[in-house]
Structure 1
Amino acid sequence: MSQVVVKPLTDASINAWNHYVDHAERSTFFHRAEWKEVLKQAFGHDSHYLYAEQDGRITGILPLGQVKSWLFGNALISVPFCVYGGVVANDEGSRQALLKAACSLAEELQVDYLELRNLYQETLPEKWQRKELYVTFRKPLLATDDENLKAIPRKQRAMVRKGIKAGLSTVIEKDTHNFFYAYSSSVRNLGTPVFNQRYFDILLQAFPEHADILTVKNNDKVVASVLNFYFKDQVLPFYGGGTEHARQCAGNDFMYWELMSHALKKGAAFFDFGRSKKDTGAFSFKKNWGFTPEPLYYDYFLVKADHLPNISPNNPKYKLFIQLWSKLPLKLSQLIGPMVSKYLG
């Protein structure tokens, strides 16, 4: 058997890379090669996608994106703007080769730190440090809508029924107009800079068979909307939000219930509710649906930095910024938000 060789992803190896992702047990949607071009087109960030090869076949992958700004520093991340990442490999030799190559690249680029967003716990060398700030919520879907509704805890099920009684309806879309209105309204209210609408257009273009938008309406009025990814047998509601009207009619609750039903019809067997910070509103909301939090393992190799990064909204130094941002007029937040959010990888 020949030696493991680490190579950079090229146009010629994209199909082989994605074939590996589609069949590897621990791969996630965020390991797909299309994210490399998404990061470039939407934000202008450089990427370094590495794969291990042995005897002419891929035996491991590590997607890396570099996010560099004067405000938040310089980081090499697997994967920026995504919740999962890290090394996926067939064997320990391939995994170690990719980790060594990533550390060497981080030192060559003189980044502040290298960050791997691992879904699964990995054994790493002593120099690495771990932050357990986030959890994820994942749960199998049952065979029928009736079974899935009954599986929702009673209080949350009552919220779903409230949305049903309000006469809400849903539509599946590929246009981002309604979605962006609901999403940008929601994140502005939370004091978070919004992404450019173009980013969401790029996502739908990059993943035409793996993404759609579910929008909730009350008559012709947009109530809530969510952009979803589909990978293997999973559905991942990734970006979502509701207007002020959503709270009155349980629009967000109805939206996620309708997504479960929609995903079931598409053949999904697993609902990935996504990442949340511990002890936040989103954390509690997902627990109320009967999901059990699972720890995420974000691992760091420090290069120029002397401590772990903390660009979380929970950081006290961002408190005033968040309060002021939440008061901005919606149009202004949509205009200036992308100038900041492109660095919040």
Structure 2
Amino acid sequence: MSIKIVKVEEATPQQWDRVTNHCEYATFFHTREWSEIWRTYQSGKLRNATKYITFNDGTEVLYPMMVRDISFGLIKQYLSAPEWKYGGWLSLSHLSEAHHNALYAYATSMNILLRQNPFDQSFPTNSIPWNLTDYTQVIDLRPGFESIKDYWFREHRSAIRNADRARKAGVTFEEGTTLEDWREYYKVYEAAVDRWGDNIQGEKFDWRLYDSILKSGTKNVKVWIVKLDGKIIGGAVRFYHNKHVVSWNKSVLRDYAKSYASNLLDYELIKQSCDGGYWWYDLDTSGGIEGVIAYKASLGTISLSANMLFHDTSMKRLAKTSRTALLSMSHKLSKTFHKPEVLTPSIDAGYSGKVEEQDRLEVTR
């Protein structure tokens, strides 16, 4: 039987939750919670567009997506998922290559930005024409924490030694449970981002995104903090779903770098994830930053594909071409017909020409 999609409909909240809660390779980035957090953060500019797809053999698939309007609302841009995190489709049934091929054809019927889900082992990675090859680094927690410690003892002894140094120095580790804890951690995060500047991996998020997380009421996003003498000196935000824990960000105040608080965070978070029965501790992609990649590797990670697909429909490609042509024509016309006028400030405190202050500054600087 030839595998075909026979129905595509808007996913109901019940369908969405049922699949993401029971699909073993679903991550927090596939959930309604993540979608709603981003809808709130973007003030509705990003909207839910998640589909529930049925095949002619009865197989059902959830395809989490969001959509935003671009080109003055004439074109829709789909994201799977927001913030370049893991997207793609999920199913409670085994998906064959034929299912994946049909879903890929459906996905590329629209303007789509898609990050591969590294935990979907049935996904035909090699048959997709990815635009960007990337990977995430994860620790397999299934052997247990003692096995991970044995690896550290052999290959990365400082992971244990530095965590012990932090404890002896009085650094403590705990969950941040109050609004004040979140706000104090955000200050640490903000200082770290400002310190790194353009070298930061990803983008800087303002407090509104953190506030959107808190207002969502989710129990699957937690901030963990490290303190010294009662002061929050660092922390980490982690997302939890099914068997998967993923790092979102981690920051420590520069003045406390020698406290080994960062090492204590890693030690305790990995141990806690093992104790919680999780399978994967995901350190996320690294943006090609070699030092970050090397540090993650020292913790005993394995690499899993997390490639990116950027697909534009013919209409969007035409819009891009037209926009480029119009900008080029506008530039040529402005050079042909525009003769700059020399503007001189009047003796009055005001300005004699009817131009905006920004224009005046451009002319007279």
TM-score band, normalised by the shorter chain? Answer: 0.7 to 0.9
Matched, 1:29 2:28: yes
**d(CA) in 1 for partners of 2:6 and 2:139?**
34
Matched, 1:154 2:153: no
Q: Which SS does the other structure have where 2:19 is aligned?
A: helix
The 5-angstrom pairing of residues 69-80 of structure 1 reads: 75-80=77-82
**d(CA) in 2 for partners of 1:138 and 1:61?**
27
Q: Is the 8 A contact 1:30 1:82 kept in 2?
A: no
1:294-339 CA distance string (max 9 Å, x none):
3322223233459xxxxxxxxxxxxxxxxxxxxxxxxxxxxxxxxx
The 5-angstrom pairing of residues 130-169 of structure 1 reads: 130-140=131-141, 142-144=143-145, 147-152=147-152, 153-169=156-172
Q: Is the 8 A contact 1:235 1:272 kept in 2?
A: yes
After superposition, the Cα gap between the structure-2 partners of 1:190 and 1:76, relative to the gap in structure 1 and judged at 3 Å, is farther
Partner of 1:5: 7
After superposition, the Cα gap between the structure-2 partners of 1:42 and 1:256, relative to the gap in structure 1 and judged at 3 Å, is same
Matched, 1:20 2:26: no
1:147-180 CA distance string (max 9 Å, x none):
5433322233332232222221012123311221
After superposition, the Cα gap between the structure-2 partners of 1:57 and 1:184, relative to the gap in structure 1 and judged at 3 Å, is farther
1:69 Cα deviation after fit: 7.3
After superposition, the Cα gap between the structure-2 partners of 1:75 and 1:166, relative to the gap in structure 1 and judged at 3 Å, is farther
1:18 Cα deviation after fit: 1.5
Range with greater deviation from structure 2 (232-241 or 217-226): 232-241
Residue 124 of structure 2: which of 106, 122, 125 is its match?
122
**d(CA) in 2 for partners of 1:305 and 1:283?**
35
**d(CA) in 1 for partners of 2:76 and 2:258?**
42
Residue 172 of structure 1: which of 172, 175, 185 is its match?
175
Partner of 1:61: 62
Partner of 1:189: 195
Q: Is the 8 A contact 1:48 1:65 kept in 2?
A: yes
**What one-letter code is carried by the residue in structure 2 that aligns with 1:84?**
Y
Partner of 1:206: 216
**What one-letter code is carried by the residue in structure 1 that aligns with 2:273?**
A
**d(CA) in 1 for partners of 2:135 and 2:287?**
5
**d(CA) in 2 for partners of 1:169 and 1:54?**
53
**What one-letter code is carried by the residue in structure 1 that aligns with 2:246?**
L
Residue 222 of structure 1: which of 232, 241, 247 is its match?
232
1:31 Cα deviation after fit: 1.0
After superposition, the Cα gap between the structure-2 partners of 1:115 and 1:142, relative to the gap in structure 1 and judged at 3 Å, is closer
**What one-letter code is carried by the residue in structure 1 that aligns with 2:176?**
E
Q: TM-score, normalised by structure 1?
A: 0.73
Matched positions, count: 293
Matched, 1:280 2:290: yes
Q: Which SS does the other structure have where 1:275 is aligned?
A: coil
Over the matched positions of the two proteins, sequence identity in percent amounts to: 18
Partner of 2:338: none
1:59-99 CA distance string (max 9 Å, x none):
112222246679xx985321011521112244346544543
Q: Is the 8 A contact 2:41 2:212 kept in 1?
A: yes
Partner of 2:310: 300
Q: Which SS does the other structure have where 2:48 is aligned?
A: coil
Q: TM-score, normalised by structure 2?
A: 0.70
**d(CA) in 2 for partners of 1:178 and 1:277?**
27
Partner of 2:109: 104
Provide the alpha-carbon RMSD of the alignment. Answer: 3.2
Q: Is the 8 A contact 1:48 1:64 kept in 2?
A: yes
| Structure 2 stretches lacking a partner, 5+ long | 319-365
Please say which structure displays the higher CA radius of gyration: 2
**d(CA) in 1 for partners of 2:25 and 2:295?**
27
**d(CA) in 2 for partners of 1:105 and 1:51?**
16
After superposition, the Cα gap between the structure-2 partners of 1:95 and 1:14, relative to the gap in structure 1 and judged at 3 Å, is farther
1:217-258 CA distance string (max 9 Å, x none):
111222211111111133222222111134111111111111
**What one-letter code is carried by the residue in structure 2 that aligns with 1:184?**
E
**d(CA) in 1 for partners of 2:89 and 2:192?**
33
Range with greater deviation from structure 2 (164-173 or 204-213): 204-213
After superposition, the Cα gap between the structure-2 partners of 1:207 and 1:298, relative to the gap in structure 1 and judged at 3 Å, is farther
After superposition, the Cα gap between the structure-2 partners of 1:116 and 1:43, relative to the gap in structure 1 and judged at 3 Å, is same
Range with greater deviation from structure 2 (276-285 or 245-254): 276-285
Larger % of strand: which?
A: 1
| Structure 1 stretches lacking a partner, 5+ long | 107-112, 307-345
Q: Is the 8 A contact 2:113 2:308 kept in 1?
A: no
Q: Is the 8 A contact 1:236 1:273 kept in 2?
A: yes
**d(CA) in 2 for partners of 1:141 and 1:265?**
10
Which runs of structure 1 show a deviation greater than 6 angstroms over 4 or more consecutive aligned residues?
A: 55-58
